[in-house]
Amino acid sequence: MLDSNDSKPTLVVEGKLADNERLKKESDFLRGTITRDLGDQTTGGFTTDNFQLIRFHGMYQQDDRDIRGERASQKLEPLHNVMLRARMPGGIISPEQWLVIEKFAEENTMYGSVRLTTRQTFQFHGVLKPHIKDMHKVINAAGIDSIATAGDVNRNVLCTTNPVESVLHAEAYEWSKRISEHLLPKTRAYAEIWLDGEKVKTTEEPILGETYLPRKFKTTVSIPPNNEVDVHANDLNFVAIAEDGKLVGWNVLVGGGLAMTHGDTGTYPRKADDFGFIPLEHTLAVAEHVVSVQRDWGNRVNRKNAKTKYTLDRVGTEVFKAEVERRAGVTFAPSRPYEFTARGDRFGWVEGFDGKHHLTLYLLSGRILDYPDRPLKTGLRKIAEIHKGDFRMTANQNLVIAGIAPEDRAEIEQIARDHGLIDDLMTPLMKNSMACVALPTCPLAMAEAERFLPDLIASVEGLLAKHGVAQDAIVLRVVGCPNGCGRAMLAEIGLVGKGPGKYNLHLGGNDVGTRVPKLYRENISPEVIEEELDGLIGRWVAERNPGECFGDFVIRAGIVAEVKVSKTDFYA
Ligand code: SRM
Ligand code: SF4
């Protein structure tokens, strides 16, 4: 946006600040009156400001939407509970930690599940108020916290799982932890409230500022050629550049994000822009000042336009980048060449160059439970009891049992098989499909996603078989609303919940996550989705060029236009 008078970009949006700005400012650095609410047993919930503030401590207040109506008819308040999201940069967890979280989920949550997320961590759903403080004590005693996994802060930092290229991975993983620590809030509110830590007055937040960021902020560290983390969903990305097998620096990409709001064309999914290359020694300064520029220039008036992607489109990418360079004392060099050629997980066994073995398990929507025919949770517990390596959560909601000595491989495989953790019949489509949580726990869901995914996969698998390409893969993702938590806005086929049983169908992302798909059909039922995809997959099979992925085909065939610049193309 340019000022009409002097053609300079508007750096700070003036106007009445969003209410979240008030509550952050008045919160005494994220303390609010959470402790008082915690002691109030007359309600299972938290009052207005605290409802928002607990997010900065990694929790969301929820209630089960399946039973909401029934409770209302009995004049009961909704069954308030919290969902906890852990902080786990790079997604690595030890078997001992696994046993602790699995036990807590089993004994103290309404659903008993551990849910792996699209950002390499786990969530507990359904923790009732009397268990909340214990939960923090238990996970912290195991070396896990949930600081800043939600709220207007830098969230869990992702890092390509990649156990095969382990030398590069080890370094990249260390950086993901350092970046996460560097950008964490410095207030001791978390320790005081949840761990009965010593009360120490907070006087400043040197990086985030006293009103924290205008909106959530997301960061990745990735190792090409794998784009498992989906860099274009993130505000800040460090893409590893290696020379002779040694990490020398990063290409930095800024301003990705996938959310939009139905009916509001001022919101859109957007890819990240390329800022250029930096050597390793500037990593933390660049991270800090991409954050500080967004802190100062991000829109604090309208939360729908508050993320870094909109700041870049308003002030201009070059202006934003120049300010980061000025503040960090760094000049971005031209980006070094790299290519993303994949983003799926490598299921089954792979051998790393250190001679260790790694087993990647497909876990439908990351939901770890004991199902009647597949006791997944018990299987993982048994593996954790004997495993000497670690567990790595992928950004595709799956799990790698990593660092297995050759002599332990057979035993771990047997346990995995006995508990339904290995499925030899898994199709390429399954491996490339993903859904967000949605109903019943997500308050924002407009349609089913996780619970719809099995039927959706079966439907599309049927179509692929019908057209004779059952072993071909298409990246298929479904989300229950346009916030896009299952990253449908980087899929070849992306379904976005519009209402109960209704979805918008987007087409034209690609198989490596470097293109946003465009709206093709609006507000359609699963039956119509199947009809539409039947025709489209039929055409793809008949007309595609050798190796052409579905998303590339629908653009070349003129079925949808390519989204090149979201701000202008996405709704055109
Ligand atoms: Fe998300 C909000 C679940 C990854 C964009 N997301 C939510 C909430 C907390 C609903 C709420 O605000 O009350 C959902 C809780 C559901 C539940 O019951 O668990 C929720 N988001 C998830 C998870 C668990 C989906 C999953 O199936 O794995 C993912 C947790 C990630 C993590 O561990 O931190 C998750 N969310 C994402 C992603 C994908 C990513 O980051 O790679 C996105 C799109 C990328 C982006 O941010 O642009 C995403 N979630 C959102 C948004 C829209 C943000 C925006 O820019 O407007 C919201 C709503 C909001 O913030 O207002 C949201
Ligand atoms: Fe909930 Fe929407 Fe995110 Fe799905 S995409 S988890 S429905 S906020």
Give the number of the ligand closest to the Cα of residue 478: 2
Percent of the chain with pLDDT strictly greater than 90: 96
CA 490 to chain CA mean position, Å: 12
Pocket test for ligand 2, best of 60, 216, 260, 442 (most atoms within 8 A of CB): 442
HSE of 500, CA atoms in CB hemisphere, 13 A: 3
pLDDT tens across 228-275, in order?
999 999 999 999 999 998 999 999 999 999 999 999 999 999 999 999
The pLDDT, as a whole number, for residue 6 is 52
- Catalytic residue from among 115, 188, 216, 321: 216
CA of 427 to the centre of ligand 2 (A): 26
Tokens 């009809």 — which residue? Answer: 531
The pLDDT, as a whole number, for residue 48 is 86
The pair of three-digit structure tokens given for residue 354, joined into one six-digit string: 């250190």
Amino acid identity of 135?
Answer: M
Amino acid identity of 287?
Answer: A
For residues 298 and 315, is the Cβ–Cβ distance under 8 A?
A: no
The pLDDT, as a whole number, for residue 8 is 77
Domains of the chain with bracketed CATH: 153-187+194-344 (3.30.413.10), 348-426 (3.90.480.10), 429-569 (3.30.413.10)
Q: How many CB atoms lie under 10 A from the CB of residue 143?
A: 11
pLDDT tens across 125-134, in order?
999 999 999 9
Separation of alpha carbons 2 and 441, rounded Å: 42
Whether the predicted pLDDT of 178 surpasses 80: yes
**Mean predicted confidence (pLDDT) in 18-24:** 98
Separation of alpha carbons 559 and 555, rounded Å: 6
Residue nearest to atom 13 of ligand 1 (CA): 443
Binding site membership of 218 for ligand 1 (Cβ less than 6 Å): yes
Ligand 2 atom closest to residue 447's alpha carbon, by position in its atom list: 7
Ligand 2 atom closest to residue 442's alpha carbon, by position in its atom list: 1
Tokens 């949808």 — which residue? Answer: 560
CA 474 to chain CA mean position, Å: 20
The pair of three-digit structure tokens given for residue 567, joined into one six-digit string: 């701000």
For residues 84 and 59, is the Cβ–Cβ distance under 8 A?
A: yes
Ligand 2 atom closest to residue 438's alpha carbon, by position in its atom list: 7
Separation of alpha carbons 447 and 445, rounded Å: 6
- Does the active-site annotation cover 549? no
Percent of the chain with pLDDT strictly greater than 70: 98
Helix residue ranges, H only, 262-316? 283-297, 308-315
Binding site membership of 117 for ligand 1 (Cβ less than 6 Å): yes
Binding site membership of 233 for ligand 1 (Cβ less than 6 Å): yes
Binding site membership of 149 for ligand 1 (Cβ less than 6 Å): yes
The pLDDT, as a whole number, for residue 296 is 98
Binding site membership of 189 for ligand 1 (Cβ less than 6 Å): no
- Catalytic residue from among 24, 31, 85, 381: 85
CA of 301 to the centre of ligand 2 (A): 23
Tokens 């726990």 — which residue? Answer: 441
The pair of three-digit structure tokens given for residue 16, joined into one six-digit string: 């009445």
DSSP secondary structure of 48-103: HHHHHHHHHTTEEEE--TTTHHHHHHTTPPP--EEEEE-B-GGGEE-HHHHHHHHH
pLDDT tens across 192-206, in order?
999 999 999 999 999
How far separated are the first and last CA of the chain, in Å rounded?
A: 19
Separation of alpha carbons 460 and 195, rounded Å: 48
- Does the active-site annotation cover 159? no
Whether the predicted pLDDT of 2 surpasses 60: no
CA of 258 to the centre of ligand 1 (A): 10
Tokens 């009965």 — which residue? Answer: 196
For residues 478 and 453, is the Cβ–Cβ distance under 8 A?
A: yes
- Catalytic residue from among 24, 31, 155, 487: 155
Separation of alpha carbons 38 and 571, rounded Å: 45
Separation of alpha carbons 118 and 416, rounded Å: 22
pLDDT tens across 321-346, in order?
999 999 999 999 999 999 999 999 99
HSE of 557, CA atoms in CB hemisphere, 13 A: 20
Separation of alpha carbons 400 and 42, rounded Å: 43
- Catalytic residue from among 215, 442, 487, 549: 442
CA of 124 to the centre of ligand 1 (A): 15
**Mean predicted confidence (pLDDT) in 100-107:** 98
- Catalytic residue from among 436, 502, 518, 549: 436
Whether the predicted pLDDT of 49 surpasses 80: yes
Separation of alpha carbons 495 and 485, rounded Å: 12
DSSP secondary structure of 489-542: GGSSEEEEEEETTEEEEEE---TTS-SPPEEEEEEE-HHHHHHHHHHHHHHHHH
Counting every residue written for the chain, the total comes to 572
The pLDDT, as a whole number, for residue 162 is 76
For residues 182 and 50, is the Cβ–Cβ distance under 8 A?
A: no
**Mean predicted confidence (pLDDT) in 466-495:** 98
CA of 25 to the centre of ligand 1 (A): 24
**Mean predicted confidence (pLDDT) in 427-444:** 98
HSE of 108, CA atoms in CB hemisphere, 13 A: 21
Separation of alpha carbons 187 and 165, rounded Å: 37
The pLDDT, as a whole number, for residue 4 is 42
Beta pairing partners, 360: 348, 400
CA dihedral 313, 318, 320, 321 (to 10 degrees): 140
**Mean predicted confidence (pLDDT) in 339-362:** 93
CA of 167 to the centre of ligand 2 (A): 36
**Mean predicted confidence (pLDDT) in 106-124:** 98
Binding site membership of 127 for ligand 1 (Cβ less than 6 Å): no
Mean pLDDT, the chain, whole residue set: 96
- Does the active-site annotation cover 442? yes
Ligand 1 atom closest to residue 304's alpha carbon, by position in its atom list: 57
Residue nearest to atom 63 of ligand 1 (CA): 483
CA of 485 to the centre of ligand 1 (A): 4
Separation of alpha carbons 276 and 254, rounded Å: 10
Q: Higher-confidence residue: 324 or 167?
A: 324
Binding site membership of 478 for ligand 1 (Cβ less than 6 Å): no
> What order do you get walking across the sheet with 390-393 strand by strand?
92-93, 390-393, 399-404, 357-361, 348-351
Whether the predicted pLDDT of 3 surpasses 60: no
Quote the pTM value.
Answer: 0.97
Whether the predicted pLDDT of 352 surpasses 90: no
DSSP secondary structure of 228-248: TT-GGGSSEEEEEEEETTEEE
- Does the active-site annotation cover 218? yes
The pair of three-digit structure tokens given for residue 349, joined into one six-digit string: 């066994």
Separation of alpha carbons 195 and 317, rounded Å: 42
